[in-house]
């Protein structure tokens, strides 16, 4: 019995190589710096009329945009400021959060950077918003 040549083998090997290259590029592309520096994690914020400045860094060689969002339970995320910020930030103001518009409670604040390939890199902190008359702990 004569074995037939495996004519499809080079196609499979080439396809696998291309897929590995695409996945590697995608993984390596999301290597920027995404960090919320202020307010600090677990900070207690008073529900005042003064917006809270969110500071940090969001930079990447393939930067596209970033979003600032908050959530009471991590299920529904709401924007802080515009839906998208299109300029990278190095140790500066990422956005302003008007906490007077949210009820007292625990919140997650998420910085989500998206690169030109659609990869996401995130930094999340937790904060507590208390009523204006409550003393900060």
The token duo for 61 is 């060689």
Evaluate whether residue 79 is within a structural domain: yes
The token duo for 110 is 């998420």
Q: Once rounded to an integer, what is the mean pLDDT over residues 6-13? A: 65
Please report the pLDDT score of residue 49 as a whole number.
Answer: 76
The token duo for 33 is 């710096």
Give the SS3 label for residue 136: coil
Please report the pLDDT score of residue 48 as a whole number.
Answer: 83
- Answer whether residue 115 shows pLDDT above 70: yes
For residue 45, give the CATH number of its domain: 2.60.40.10
Evaluate whether 95 touches 81 at the Cβ level (below 8 Å).
yes
Tell me, what DSSP letter sits at residue 62? T
Name every residue whose Cβ is closer than 8 Å to that of residue 68 and which is 6 or more positions away in sequence: 54, 79, 80, 81, 85, 94, 95, 97, 109, 110, 111, 112
Evaluate whether residue 49 is within a structural domain: yes
Structural domain harbouring 72: 32-130
pLDDT per position as a tens digit, 46-58? 988 789 999 999 9
- Using a CB cutoff of 8 Å and minimum separation of 24, what contacts does 78-82 make? 80/54, 80/109
């Amino acid at each position: 019995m004569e074995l037939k040549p495996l004519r499809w083998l080079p196609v499979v090997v080439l396809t696998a190589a291309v897929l590995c290259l695409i996945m590697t590029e995608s993984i390596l592309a999301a290597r920027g710096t995404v960090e919320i520096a202020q307010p600090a994690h677990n900070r207690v914020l008073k529900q005042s009329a003064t917006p809270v400045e969110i500071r940090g860094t969001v930079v990447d060689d393939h930067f596209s945009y970033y979003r600032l969002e908050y959530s009471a339970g991590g299920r529904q995320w709401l924007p802080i400021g515009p839906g998208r910020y299109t300029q990278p930030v190095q140790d500066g103001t990422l956005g302003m959060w008007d906490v007077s518009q949210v009820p007292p409670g625990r919140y997650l604040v998420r910085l989500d950077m998206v690169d030109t390939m659609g990869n996401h890199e995130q930094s999340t902190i937790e904060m507590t918003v208390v009523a204006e008359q409550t003393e900060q702990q």
